A and B are shown apart, each in its own frame.
Chain A
Amino acid sequence: MDFGFVELSAQDRALQQEIREFLAELFTPDVFALEHETGSGFNAKVYEALGARGWLYPSLPVEQGGAGFTALQNRIMELELDRQDARVMMMKGTSSLPMAAIRKYMPAEIADPILKECAAGRAVVCLGYSEPDGGSDIANAKVRAVQDGEMWAINGSKMWTTGAHISTYTFLITRTDPEAPKHKGITMFLVPLHSEGVTIQAIRTFSGERTNIVFYEDVQVHDSMRIGGVNNGWTVLHGPLDEEHSIGIDSNGGLTDVSVGVSFSRVLGASINEVAQWALKTASADGKSMAEDTRVLERLGSAMVDYEAGMCTPGPMGRVKSSDGLVKQAAQLQDLVGPVGLLPMNAEGGIGVGDIEYAHRFAQGTATYGGTVEVFRTIIAQHVLGLPKAQLPGAKVFMAGKKK
């Protein structure tokens, strides 16, 4: 066990300082303002500036557009980015999942230039997983891909394609064999989003984040953009999905967070800091400092317990705990602060930078992002507790067109 500060070599200390100064200059107020306005989880200036130094995916080798960072140097970069603003970096995290599949399953002559563009910050890949009539059950995809010679025609629509409007490609789940059991009839494609027949419509969420519905109408995609074998999509997906559901389990000498939900808990942490600062400079009705009010102390203590629980609960369990804790505590912190906690960023008389106002809205999405907490509870039930699988009617359905 080790929770100590990481000892840095002179070289790494200098790198940490260089990164910190570079980011402080890069993350100007207009970056935050633009993100607040668009909710895109992306900023072209920031991505390209990082990409130009190989710092967007710095653990990639230099020849692949990275900076050849060690695990420790990569950790330094992640923490320094979190120090600035994790929201803008969302699409970096999203892209990294399909990038792994592209690297593994596409021929190098196709994959390499695409990955280089991604590493340079000029290309982003979004996830074309969920559909309008089904959320987390992504193996149930109905978007059709039909082959005609070297080309595939794609028809259907995808929901919750966050980042589609700023992405170059989407990592698309398609149905290629409607006769096969649902996991065995899907194929993955990397679809250029500027293709004819693609229509992207904004969906606004109350966290402020923008997501999209994407319509595919006879979209023509060359077979070279297929990722992995025909009808082998589930295997291709599994790599990145496993990565999405298990990031952090490998302890890596303690350089990785153990909880999958760390990014949710950090939002709670920022709210706790904001409320604590508010309490120290605010007087209650009887003239005493809020910092001496037991109501304030107990609520801050309670929020701190859930923050710590979110940070320390391992793996997918940490994802559930961080979300539950944030949902509960963001609401309670807002109650504690009162109406002033309802004021957004930069409002007159608002608190801090509006972290608690944001946290309460953002919290609700965390119960759904990347698979709902119920999906995760099902995973925990089966894989941690070894409980038997429920025999649900849709579990092994054959797709439309095939009768029993």
Chain B
Amino acid sequence: MDLVELRRHDYALDEISQEVLVAFGDFFRDQCPSSLVRESQPVGFSQELWDRLVEMGTTTMGLPESVGGDGAGMVELALVAEEFGRAVAPVPYIEHVVTSRALARANNPALADVIAAAANGSRILALASAPVMPGTKQLIPAGAIARDVLAMVGDALVLYSADTPPAHVPNQGSTPLAWWDLFSLPNRTVVATGEEALAIYTRAHDERMVLTASALVGLTEYALGLTVEFTKTRETMGVLISTLQGVAFPLTDIATNIAGARNIARKAAWFLDFDPETRPELPAIALVYAAQTATQGTQQAAHLQGGLGFTVENDISLYFLRSKGWGSLAGDPTAHLAAIGKHVLSSVN
């Protein structure tokens, strides 16, 4: 790789992006208190919140104008994801947005109805992580509330549909996971085949990694804030615990990781929008680093509240449990590392 490229490193948000950030920050803060997150357990879905999110235009903003969307790019969607993560909101924002964008990208008239239903939020879409194999069930993120799952089967990209979603499987992150036996589902629509299919799927997977990274950034930042406030009022041996380096330094490391993870995720989003060929490893880097940041950050944030941080009643528990519960859905970080390594090799070859 060229270490001294004359590129800009401009992370400043333009006015529209700043408005998106503020609007969705306000929305989730007002509409999604932690009580709603708790009430929505164990499935991790609130129909009421979903309906409000649809009213905000969240399900249309990322769709192209040709199908009635607003044509927003990944940068805006990543900003929304940060705020969604900050609230650990019980809605399938990431799965739904990346899958509906993938369908729109296929430019296939047979999909018009499902795209319209996805745009108005009446039909929730999900993305499978692994290719479809006979006799193999898959845990599908948002699979307990989605009626349609997009998956690769051989060299085809296929949308599998069911009349009702399969039963929810309780899980650590309280997300709407469900087992789908995609291979045996009769109701299917071929979205694309060959190179086009792979390109659309890869892009959707990249988008999911970037939006998950952004969500984990927001998630970790909120958890950090809870613990910072705690350490400013908690005393030991007559001093505030936040004045102790054994407490303050881990907190600064979380803040440092968050600041970097946020910038990488936003940068990866920008590259997907404007220069997707040049840095194909960025979405995976964004996800791995954000997952690492969230795993370590929420663990430390919980731990620095001592026994209190270990209790279910403390909101930090919601954040700790979802750091893995959300991060794992986009794939094993070590597998992503190998993929990043391959890109490094091709950059010097």
Interface residues of A (CB under 8 A from B): 1-6, 8, 16, 75-76, 79-80, 82-83, 251, 253-258, 266, 269-270, 272-273, 276-277, 279-280, 291, 294, 296-302, 304-305, 308-310, 312-314, 317-318, 320-321, 374, 377-378, 380-381, 384-391
Chain B neighbourhood of A272, CB < 8 A: 1, 344
CB-contacts of B279-324 with A (<8 A): 281-282, 284-285, 288-289, 292
Name 9 interchain pairs, CB-CB below 8 A, sorted by A. A1-B270, A4-B275, A83-B3, A251-B12, A257-B9, A266-B4, A273-B348, A304-B285, A314-B11
Interface membership of B167, Cβ < 8 A = no
Closest Cβ of chain B: how far from A152's Cβ, in Å?
38
Q: Are B337 and A253 in contact (CB under 8 A)?
A: no
- Tell me, in angstroms, the Cα distance from A16 to B275 when the chains sit together: 24
- Taking CB atoms, residues of chain A closer than 8 Å to B75 are 1
Q: Which A residue's beta carbon lies closest to that of B244?
A: A390
B288 to nearest A CB, angstroms? 5
Cβ–Cβ < 8 Å partners of A83 in chain B: 3-4
CB pair A3 B270 closer than 8 Å: yes
Contact between chains at B344 and A384 (CB < 8 Å): no
Q: How far is the CA of A301 from the CA of B333 in the complex (A)?
A: 10
> B249 contacts A381, CB within 8 Å?
yes
What is the interface of chain B mostly: helix, strand, loop, or mixed?
helix
B340 near A388 with CB under 8 A, answer: no
Given A80-B4, A302-B337, A380:B255 Cβ within 8 A: yes
**Whole-angstrom CA separation of A291 from B349 in the bound complex:** 11
Residues of A within 8 A of B245 (CB): 374, 377-378, 390
B6 on interface, CB distance cutoff 8 Å: yes
What is the chain A residue whose CB lies nearest that of B5?
Answer: A5
Are the CB atoms of A380 and B338 closer together than 8 Å?
Answer: no
In the complex, what distance in Å separates the CA atom of A388 from the CA atom of B345?
A: 46
| Complex interface: stretch among B47-55, B105-113, B189-197, B258-266 | B258-266
Contacts of A270 in B (CB 8 A): 3
Given A270-B3, A385-B252, do A251 and B231 touch, yes or no (CB 8 Å)?
A: no
Closest 3 pairs (CB-CB, A-B): A254-B10, A254-B8, A297-B341
- Assess whether B8 is in contact with A253, with CB atoms less than 8 Å apart: yes
Asked if B34 is an interface residue, CB under 8 A from chain A, the answer is: no
- A62 CA to B92 CA, complexed, in Å: 60
Asked if B341 and A312 make an inter-chain contact with CB atoms under 8 angstroms apart, the answer reads: no
Cβ 8 A contact of B7, one of A5, A258, A317, A318: A5
Query: Chain B residues near A4 (CB, 8 Å)?
Result: 7-8, 274-275
Question: Is B137 interfacial (CB 8 A cutoff)?
Answer: no
**Does B255 contact A385, Cβ atoms closer than 8 Å?**
yes
| Min CB gap B2→A, angstroms | 9
Q: A298-B341, A384-B252 are in contact. Are A312 and B267 (CB under 8 A)?
A: yes
> Which chain B residues in 227-253 approach chain A with CB under 8 Å?
228, 231-232, 239-240, 242-245, 248-249, 251-253
With A79-B6, A251-B10, A384-B255 given, is the CB distance from A389 to B264 under 8 Å?
A: no
A305-B337, A312-B263 known; 17 other A-B pairs, CB under 8 Å? A1-B14, A16-B6, A251-B10, A269-B1, A270-B3, A277-B348, A301-B284, A301-B339, A304-B281, A310-B260, A313-B256, A377-B249, A381-B242, A381-B249, A386-B228, A387-B231, A387-B243
B66 contacts the other chain (CB 8 A): no
B183: CB under 8 A from chain A?
Answer: no
Interface pair B7/A388, CB less than 8 Å apart: no
Given contacts A3-B8, A3-B9, contact A304 B228 (CB under 8 A): no
The contact of B345 among A5, A75, A291, A380, by CB within 8 Å, is: A291
Contact of A314 with B263 in the complex, beta carbons under 8 Å: yes
> Is the CB–CB distance between A309 and B255 below 8 Å?
no
Bound form: Cα–Cα A377–B252 in Å: 6
Give the residue of A3, A378, A381 whose beta carbon is less than 8 angstroms from that of B10.
Answer: A3
| Shortest distance between the CB of B343 and any CB in chain A (Å) | 8
Tell me the complex Cα distance, A310–B264, Å: 10
CB pair A321 B4 closer than 8 Å: no
Q: Pick from A251, A277, A301: contact of B337, CB below 8 A.
A: A301
Q: Which residues of A contact B260 (CB under 8 A)?
A: 309-310, 312-314, 317-318, 321
A380 vs B289: C-alpha distance when bound (angstroms):
20
Contact yes or no, B9 A256, CB < 8 A: yes
A300 to B266, CA, bound (A): 23
Chain A positions within 8 Å of B257 at CB level: 309, 321
A5 to chain B, nearest CB (A): 6
Alpha-carbon distance between A305 and B285 when the two chains are bound, in angstroms: 6
A-side contacts of B120, CB under 8 Å:
none
Asked if A387 and B228 sit within 8 Å, CB to CB, the answer is yes
Complex Cα spacing A386 to B245, Å: 14
Q: Across the interface, do B12 and A1 meet the contact criterion of CB distance under 8 Å? A: yes
Question: Which residue on chain B has the smallest CB distance to residue A376?
Answer: B252
Question: Inside 8 A of A279's CB, which chain B residues have their CB?
Answer: 345
- Given that A1-B13, A301-B344, A302-B337 are known contacts, is A280 also in contact with B243, CB under 8 Å in the complex? no
**B221 to A: closest C-beta gap in Å:** 11
Known contacts A3-B270, A312-B264, A297 near B337 by CB under 8 Å: yes
Residues A305 and B7 in contact, CB atoms below 8 Å apart: no
Distance of A30 from chain B, by nearest CB (Å): 23
Does B347 lie within 8 Å of A255, measured CB to CB? no
Would A3 and B275 be within 8 Å (CB), given that A297-B341, A298-B338, A381-B251 are in contact? yes
Task: Give complex CA distance A75, B10 in Å.
Answer: 14
- Say how far B242's CB is from chain A's closest CB, in angstroms: 4
Which of B12, B251, B281, B348 is close to A387, meaning CB atoms less than 8 Å apart?
Answer: B251
Q: How far is the CA of A313 from the CA of B270 in the complex (A)?
A: 16
- CB of A380 within 8 A of CB of B256, answer yes
A403 CA to B271 CA in the complex, in Å? Answer: 62
Which chain A residues lie closer than 8 Å to B4 at the CB level? 79-80, 82-83, 266
Partner of B289, one of A2, A266, A309, A388: A309
**How far does the alpha carbon of A391 sit from the alpha carbon of B242 in the complex, in Å?**
11
Q: Considering only CB atoms, which chain A residue lies closest to B17 in the complex? A: A1
In whole angstroms, what is the CA distance A255 to B9 when docked?
Answer: 6
Are A76 and B344 neighbours in the complex by a CB distance under 8 Å? no
Minimum CB–CB distance for B280 against chain A, Å: 12
A16 to B5, CA, bound (A): 12
- Does the CB pair A317–B255 fall under 8 Å? yes
In the complex, A317 Cα to B14 Cα: how many Å? Answer: 24
Q: Which of B192-244 contact A (CB under 8 A)?
A: 228, 231-232, 239-240, 242-244
Nearest B residue to A6, CB-CB: B6
In the bound assembly, the distance between CA atoms of A86 and B59 in angstroms comes to 49
Residue of A5, A80, A391 most packed against chain B (CB within 10 A)? A5
A391 CB contact (under 8 Å) in B7, B243, B253, B281: B243
Contact residues in B for A310 (Cβ distance below 8 Å): 260
